[in-house]
Amino acid sequence: MFPREGDMNQSAAQLTTTDDLTTKSRAPGPKGLPLLGNVLPAWKDPVSLFMQSQKEFGDVVRFKFGPYDYYLVNDPDVIRHVLVDGAKTYTKSRNYLGLKLVLGDGLLTSEGDFWRRQRKLAQPAFHRESMEGFAHQMSYATRAMLTRWEGEDETGGESDMFCALAEMMRLTFRIVGLTLFSTDVDSEAQEVGQAMTVAMHHANDWAEALWNFPAWVPTPKNLRFKTAMKTLDSVVYRIIESRRADPTQKKDLLGMLMAAVDESGEGGMTDKQLRDEVITLVLAGHETTANLLAWTFYLLSSRPEITARIREEAKTVLGDRDPALADVPRLSYTKMVLEEVLRLYPPAWAFERQSTTTDKLGAFDIKKGAIVGVSPYVLHRHPKFWENPEEFDPSRFAAEKSATRSRYSYLPFGGGPRMCIGNAFAMMEAQIILAMVARDYALTVDPTHPVEIDPRITLRPRHGIKVTRHRS
Ligand code: HEM
């Protein structure tokens, strides 16, 4: 998620250099190589580079990534300045160009008036009135997964190892289809999951490469990407086409987007615009939550006392019922656990903005075109805001403790107008799934299985999370 010189069409005038900032007003940062700057350590291990640099240089650190100035900010006031006060003068950074190859101009990647219009159109789909139905679908899909597990257990599969990440991807993908598009995509989960992985790796590598072959050159990588995009597009266009043929006016997200007409009152969205919004929601709406749940099962595996508390809460609140919307606020300990997992393993581990003007980050000057990075991963382990930051301790999120913390020291869902549109959806979904799984099962991570972070566009466990399940 940090910039690497990829867009060779960038004009020299747009590039920035800190060389002419006076030493006094220039933020400190690690020394780099001529031309490349700090790109090599960032390629090798961006999380370590960011963590160490924050410790060494403070809360505004300057890097050079090729020709780009990149500032990592860990001061809540500066972060608010960029995300909220600067919402009009900062755009999404050029890093998002990699994502645009997959998502086009969807909510995550679009800008300006077009983004504002689309956000206004999509927002009502996430209002309270929709939540009841979402909770119902989330419980339904989780119940279906647990029923499948039971069947497998009966045929002797209980002690077999499986990948919690793959299983959660399948479940959250199904939920996104059911809730936002009223479509059951379960049978396509595997095919779409594989295509999504290829596409996201390509987007990440593309944004990070020093140079890329144009898309039309038939390199093996480009061809693999093309095939993956064909798979994804065929699923998305199938969803759109079947809805166009459906005379019932469904009131889900897709229905709202399709019913929208532009301000002049003419015509709705083109198929391409719809495609971009749908694929954005499919991707943003399941991958991150699946990662959150996979990291949760990883952390809980070594903390049986926390799992037991989640189970007790589920039994007290739900008995034998599956959760409905009204139960969700009462699954409060489960929520604290998830908030703590989001602190330690934020799926959106870094996101960026690009300044369209000169600006000040605290005491430091930055030039037009500079990229400003916020890394929830680093921020959430900052010793100024978190006691024993490396420790997994859900009690940090007890209401009275959360109330004393700066809003901008905890940003798993971002902040300002571009904050995640699906944050309440994601938290409810994760609460429902975790409560239902923990009520029936304990998942144990195989101690020989390597667990490593893979910081790309999202923070995935590099080798998945291999677990066995045991009925509790
Ligand atoms: C644990 C789960 C999730 C995490 C950690 C997460 C995190 C984030 C973050 C940090 C951003 C802001 C990015 C930026 O400022 O550059 C974002 C934006 C977004 N998220 Fe999420 N998200 C999650 C779940 C979801 C879900 C479930 C949906 C949809 C159902 C969703 C849809 C979106 C969209 C459309 C945007 C772009 C919003 C805009 O720019 O207007 N996300 N997400």
* Residue 378 CB–ligand 1 contact under 6 Å: no
Q: What pLDDT, in 10s, does the model give residues 396-433?
A: 999 999 999 999 999 999 999 999 999 999 999 999 99
Examine the domain organization and report whether 256 and 400 are in the same domain: no
pLDDT greater than 80 at residue 197: yes
Specify whether 210 is located in the same domain as 326: yes
Are both 280 and 416 inside the same structural domain?
yes
Rounded to the nearest angstrom, the distance between the alpha carbon of 305 and the centre of ligand 1 is: 31
Q: How far is the CA of 363 from the centre of ligand 1 (A)?
A: 30
User: Are residue 458 and residue 344 in the same domain, yes or no?
Assistant: yes
What's the 312 CA to ligand 1 centre distance in angstroms? Answer: 31
Whether 2 and 68 map to the same domain: the answer is: yes
Cβ(289) – ligand 1 distance below 6 Å? yes
Considering the domain architecture, whether residues 379 and 238 belong to the same structural domain is answered as: no
The mean pLDDT value for 63-80 works out to 95
Which residue's CA lies nearest to atom 29 of ligand 1?
Answer: 285
- For the Cβ of 426 lying below 6 angstroms from any atom of ligand 1, the answer is yes
Residue range 307-333: mean pLDDT, rounded: 98
Q: What is the mean pLDDT of the chain?
A: 90
Residues 258 and 197 in one domain: yes
Atom 13 of ligand 1, residue of closest alpha carbon? 414
Residue 179 near ligand 1, beta carbon < 6 Å? no
Residue 13 is predicted with a pLDDT of 36
Count of domains forming the chain: 2
Is there a single domain that holds both residue 300 and residue 320?
A: yes
Q: Which of 359, 393, 411 is the last residue of a domain?
A: 411
Based on the fold, state whether residues 79 and 93 are members of the same structural domain. Answer: no
Å from CA of 111 to ligand 1 middle: 15
**340 pLDDT more than 80:** yes
Q: Is 428 in the pocket of ligand 1 (CB under 6 A)?
A: no
405 shares its domain with 438: no
Give the tens place of pLDDT for each residue, 84-110: 999 999 999 777 888 999 999 999 999
The ligand 1 atom at the shortest distance from the C-alpha of residue 118 is 41
> Does ligand 1 lie within 6 Å of residue 425's CB atom?
yes
Confidence of residue 4 (pLDDT cuts 50, 70, 90): very low
Q: How far apart are CA 43 and CA 166, in angstroms?
A: 26
Residues 427 and 337 in one domain: yes
Q: What is the pLDDT of residue 15?
A: 45
Residues 6+ away with beta carbon under 8 Å from 80:
407, 408, 415, 416
Q: What is the pLDDT of residues 428-468, one digit of tens each?
A: 999 999 999 999 999 999 999 999 999 988 999 999 999 99
SS (H, E, C) the chain: CCCCCCCCCCCHHHCCCCCCCCHHHCCCCCCCECCCECHHHHHHCHHHHHHHHHHHHCCEEEEEECCEEEEEECCHHHHHHHHHHCCCCEEECCCHHHHHHHHCCCCCCCCHHHHHHHHHHHHHHHCHHHHHHHHHHHHHHHHHHHHHHHHHHHHHHCCCCEEHHHHHHHHHHHHHHHHHHCCCCHHHHHHHHHHHHHHHHHHHHHHHCCCCCCCCCCCHHHHHHHHHHHHHHHHHHHHHHHHHCCCCCCCCHHHHHHHCCCCCCCCCCCHHHHHHHHHHHHHHCCHHHHHHHHHHHHHHHCCHHHHHHHHHHHHHHHCCCCCCHHHHHHCHHHHHHHHHHHHHCCCCCCEEEEECCCEEECCEEECCCCEEEECHHHHCCCCCCCCCCCCCCHHHHCHHHHCCCCHHHCCCCCCHHHCCCCHHHHHHHHHHHHHHHHHHEEEEECCCCCCCEEECCCEEECCCCEEEEEEC
Which residues are CB-contacts of 471 (< 8 A; sequence separation ≥ 6)? 153, 158, 440, 441
Same domain, 256 and 381: no
Give distance in angstroms: CA of 99 to centre of ligand 1. Answer: 13
Is the overall model pTM greater than 0.75, yes or no? Answer: yes
447 CA → ligand 1 middle, Å: 32
**CA–centroid distance, residue 60 to ligand 1 (Å):** 25
Q: 12 pLDDT exceeds 50?
A: no
Q: Which atom of ligand 1 is nearest to the CA of 346?
A: 5
CATH code of 375's domain: 1.10.630.10
> Among 411, 440, 461, where does a domain finish?
411
Instruction: Kindly give the distance from the C-alpha atom of residue 208 to the centroid of ligand 1, in angstroms, as a whole number.
Output: 21
- What is the tens place of the pLDDT at every residue in 248-304? 878 888 888 888 765 556 667 888 889 999 999 999 999 999 999 999 999 999 999
Choice between 324 and 3, residue whose per-residue pLDDT is larger: 324
**Can you give the residue range of the structural domain that contains 371?**
1-85+349-411
Give the pair of three-digit tokens for residue 280: 């954005």
Task: Give the pLDDT score at 233.
Answer: 94
pLDDT, tens digit (0-9, with 9 covering 90-100), for 125-167: 899 888 999 999 999 999 999 999 999 888 876 557 899 999 9
pLDDT of residue 217: 86
- Predicted pLDDT at 435: 98
% of the chain exceeding 70 in pLDDT: 93
pLDDT at residue 248, as a whole number = 81
- Asked whether 106 lines ligand 1 (CB < 6 A), one says no
Given 360, 385, 411, the domain boundary residue is: 411
